[in-house]
Amino acid sequence: MTGFEVTPIGTVESSLTDPAAAPKQGPEGGPEAWLVIDPAVLDALDGVRAGARLVVLTWFHLARRDLLRVHPRDDPANPLQGVFNTRSADRPNPIGLHEVEVLAVEGARLHVRPLEAVDGTPVVDLKPVLD
């Protein structure tokens, strides 16, 4: 297998616009945001309610895909490590993983928090958090 296609199911609407200014992780200051779900998959939201916890998978479309080693947390004091040992957005397949709380469901829009993804980030999938 040399590749495969993933179709976004929605996009992020957020006050964050600059990846460099975004918090490293949602709980470190990620704001509330909206997930705008494609009407073609709207039935897949059945059962999602306010108060639910979801894992949001995103595609970091602004990330660098050619970086294989980074200073963790962008701190030059940290020794270089392979991206597979970090949560860096820059990686060969820039998949973001975010645990959020659903604040409201309004049609095809989910109000969530905290989310460190920038405005316009494609949403790839949603999964419930399993306790």
Tens-place pLDDT, residues 103-114? 999 999 999 999
- Per-residue pLDDT band for 64 (boundaries 50, 70, 90) equals very high
Residue 63 has a pLDDT of 92
Structure tokens at 77: 């004091």
Provide the residue type at 60 as one letter.
Answer: F
At CA 19, angle to CA 70 and CA 95, rounded to 5?
65
| pTM confidence score | 0.91
Q: For the purposes of burial, counting CB atoms within 10 Å of the CB of 129, is it exposed (0-12), middle (13-18) or buried (19 or more)?
A: exposed
- Confidence (pLDDT) at 87: 86
> pLDDT value at position 46?
97
Mean per-residue pLDDT, 106-128: 97
The residues near 85 (Cβ < 8 Å, ≥ 6 apart) are none
Q: What are 4-42's pLDDT values in tens digits?
A: 999 999 999 999 999 888 877 777 778 999 999 999 999
Model confidence at 99: pLDDT above 80: yes
Do the Cβ atoms of 128 and 99 come closer than 8 Å?
no
Higher pLDDT, 131 or 119: 119
CB 8 within 8 A of CB 96: no
